[in-house]
């Protein structure tokens, strides 16, 4: 105005704005710092543009690319570096975000090419981060972790498990070290058993083949000693330089060495599992994890084999002891059989001596009654002696063939009587059965008494002259229906004059019949008597009247008697 320069303006205070900008920058720096410090990759992916718009610095450590390189590649970054076999899975995975609710997390595993060209296994976990104004999913926030070692471990474990699944016994260790060396891509692998102060290789895989077993002292191999004492030892590189005096490491050209201890069920060291290579060992934790798993498996197999060997040794010892004891028992049994045979032989000889003495006595006796008593005693002694004679001749010393014994007994009885007995026809029906000695003696004495009684009383002279005289002896084993045990039945019958009805057999003074009754009780049997006399057939018109006496003794088999005695059975026994 009037030629003067006039400056007009308005001052605005922007202190608050500058403070806000400073705070925002600080907040962004903080957020970026947090993102960069986050373990694993943190990223934001644009679903519409199909590219990553943000990634933290960890992407470089995991995949070898910088965030700037990733953004510059755009949509090509994911498509060109995803494994071909995972392309279809990726399409299915990203399509689910169209319907995914906010806050829901999803994840997937896939293979991705590293900047150095190798394939890495990754695991992504994602959630919706932003939508468009129309509500369509736009951005996802995700994290990525490298699971390559885990996948390699799974593959290695699967390979080793498949390789050793069917292997047993000594072959197990050979298959184990071979598959372990191949799965871990090392030149040498071995499993050893601790025996005192030495390690004995159970299997040693080296340069593509199983090597002969080796034994080495712990004191001269500090690597193995450390693994045994501390449970684990690892030299991922320069293993030879660590132990320049160890010839074994020099021979194997060991650059790396990893070993873990094998423990038994009580936690005591029993061996070790080891891998050696001529290259540095990179994935130490991965290899250690696999070795620990299979060290436990190898320890279990070694314990099983040790237990099997111990059991076999114990079984052999027991078999040897049983065989020794069996031979001792056989020898003892042979001695006892010889002694028992000698006993039977001497008993028979003694009985025959008594019989001979009675025979001498008979020559000095003239009274008929006394002669008959002596003759009966001789027959009884002969019946008992015959049992011992048969036993002496038999291979079995506890039982006797009753059919053979019965025929011999009847032959001796016929020879001991007068010529009158020769007119009597004998009918024998004795089953081919074996009886215990006591039972055979009792039955033999019963037959002796009843046969003698029939010869003396059933057939008077006038009867022999006019009729056919028959004495029947039967011995059978019967199995009654609905009965668990069989029964023996001994029958001695004659067709003579018969015992008069007024004679009580059980109370008679006849020594023979009283002896029969006592022997029946000894057998725990029953005695039945059937008698037919001429007086009991009054009015009979059928020709010659049937007469005679039948004695039937029934008693249980020895099996039933033993069972009743052992179980204290009831009255049914």
Yes or no: say if 186 and 277 are a contact pair by the CB < 8 Å rule.
yes
- The stretches of 114-230 forming alpha helices (DSSP H) are 148-164, 170-184, 222-230
Q: Residues 558, 526: contact at Cβ < 8 Å?
A: no
Phi first, then psi, for residue 491 (nearest 5°) are: -125, 130
pLDDT of residue 357: 77
Number of domains, the chain: 3
Do residues 188 and 101 share a domain?
no
| Alpha carbon distance 470, 491 (integer Å) | 13
Q: Tens digit of pLDDT for each residue in 15-58?
A: 666 665 566 555 556 555 655 666 788 888 888 888 888 888 88
Q: What is the pLDDT of residues 487-521, one digit of tens each?
A: 999 999 999 888 877 777 767 777 788 889 988 99
Q: What is the pLDDT of residues 395-440, one digit of tens each?
A: 666 788 889 888 888 888 877 776 455 578 889 999 999 888 888 8
**Domain CATH number, residue 482:** 3.30.565.10
Last residue of a domain, one of 130, 146, 162: 146
- Please report, for residues 495, 544, 545, the alpha-carbon distance to residue 539 in angstroms, rounded to integers and kept in the order given: 20, 12, 10
Q: Is residue 476 part of a domain?
A: yes
pLDDT > 50? residue 538: no
pLDDT at res. 163: 66
Same domain membership, residue 467 and residue 407: yes
476: pLDDT strictly greater than 90: yes
The CATH number assigned to the domain holding 303 equals: 3.30.450.40
Does 137 map to a domain? Answer: yes
* Percent of the chain residues past pLDDT 90, beyond the cut: 22
Quote the DSSP letter at residue 536: G
Per residue in 266-288, pLDDT (tens digit) is 999 999 999 999 999 888 888 88
Q: Where in the sequence is the domain holding 527, given as residue range(s)? A: 399-567
The CA distances from residue 521 to 20, 327, 527, 556, 558, in Å, are: 127, 42, 9, 12, 14
- Averaged pLDDT, 214-218: 86
Say what the pLDDT of residue 531 is: 85
Q: What is the dihedral of CA 501, 502, 505, 511, to 10 degrees?
A: -130
pLDDT tens per residue across span 54-106: 888 888 888 888 888 887 888 788 888 899 999 999 888 988 988 889 989 99
Residue partners of 149: CB distance under 8 A and separation at least 6: 283, 285, 286
In this predicted structure, the answer to whether residue 345 has a pLDDT above a threshold of 70 is no
Residue 541 has pLDDT above 80, yes or no: no
Pick the residue with more confidence: 381 or 471? 471
pLDDT tens-digit map of 547-567:
789 999 999 876 555 555 554
Instruction: Indicate if 161 and 142 belong to the same structural domain.
Output: no
């Amino acid at each position: 105005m009037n030629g003067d320069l006039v400056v007009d303006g308005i001052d605005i205070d922007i202190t608050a704005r500058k403070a806000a900008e400073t705070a925002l920058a600080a907040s962004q720096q903080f957020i970026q710092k947090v993102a960069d410090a986050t373990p694993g990759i943190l990223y934001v992916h644009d679903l519409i543009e199909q590219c990553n718009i943000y990634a933290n610095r960890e992407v470089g450590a995991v995949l070898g690319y910088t965030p700037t390189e990733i953004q510059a590649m755009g949509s090509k970054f994911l498509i060109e570096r995803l494994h071909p076999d995972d392309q279809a899975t990726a399409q299915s995975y990203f399509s689910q975000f169209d319907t995914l609710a906010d806050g829901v997390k999803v994840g997937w595993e896939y293979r991705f090419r590293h900047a150095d060209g190798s394939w890495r296994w990754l695991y992504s976990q994602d959630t919706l981060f932003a939508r468009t104004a129309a509500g369509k999913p736009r951005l996802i926030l995700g994290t990525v972790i490298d699971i390559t070692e885990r996948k390699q471990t799974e593959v290695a474990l699967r390979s080793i498990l498949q390789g050793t699944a069917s292997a047993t016994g000594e072959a197990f260790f050979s298959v184990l070290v071979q598959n372990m060396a191949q799965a871990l891509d090392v030149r040498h692998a071995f499993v050893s058993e601790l025996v005192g102060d030495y390690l004995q290789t159970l299997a040693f895989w080296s340069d593509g083949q199983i090597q002969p077993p080796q034994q080495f002292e712990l004191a001269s191999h500090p690597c193995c000693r450390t693994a045994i004492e501390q449970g684990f030892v690892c030299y991922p590189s320069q293993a030879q330089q660590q132990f320049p005096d160890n010839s074994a490491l020099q021979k194997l050209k060991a650059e790396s060495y990893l070993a873990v201890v094998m423990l038994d069920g009580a936690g005591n060291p029993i061996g070790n599992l080891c891998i050696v290579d001529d290259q540095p060992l990179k994935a130490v934790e991965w290899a250690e994890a696999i070795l620990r798993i299979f060290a436990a498996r190898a320890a279990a197999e070694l314990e099983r084999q040790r237990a099997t060997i111990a059991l076999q040794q114990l079984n052999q010892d027991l078999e040897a002891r049983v065989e020794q004891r069996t031979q001792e028992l056989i020898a003892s049994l042979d001695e006892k059989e010889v002694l028992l045979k000698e006993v039977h032989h001497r008993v028979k000889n003694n009985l025959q001596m008594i019989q001979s003495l009675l025979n001498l006595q008979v020559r000095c006796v003239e009274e008929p009654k006394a002669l008959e008593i002596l003759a009966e005693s001789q027959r009884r002694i002969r019946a008992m002696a015959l049992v011992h004679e048969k036993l002496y001749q038999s291979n079995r010393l506890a039982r006797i063939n009753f059919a053979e014994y019965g025929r011999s007994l009847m032959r001796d009885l016929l020879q001991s009587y007068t010529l009158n007995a020769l007119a009597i026809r004998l009918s024998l029906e004795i089953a081919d059965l074996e009886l215990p000695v006591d039972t055979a003696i009792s039955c033999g004495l019963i037959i002796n008494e009843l046969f003698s009684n029939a010869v003396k009383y059933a057939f008077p002279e006038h009867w022999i002259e006019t009729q056919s005289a028959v004495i029947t002896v039967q011995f059978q084993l019967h199995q009654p229906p609905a009965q668990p045990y069989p029964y023996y039945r001994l029958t001695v019958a004659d067709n003579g004059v018969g015992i008069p009805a007024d004679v009580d057999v059980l109370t008679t003074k006849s020594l023979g019949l009283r002896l029969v009754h006592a022997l029946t009780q000894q057998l725990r049997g029953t005695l039945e008597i059937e008698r037919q006399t001429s007086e009991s057939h009054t009015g009979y018109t059928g020709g010659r009247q049937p007469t005679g006496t039948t004695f039937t003794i029934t008693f249980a088999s020895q099996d039933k008697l033993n069972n009743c005695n052992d179980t204290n059975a009831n009255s049914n026994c």
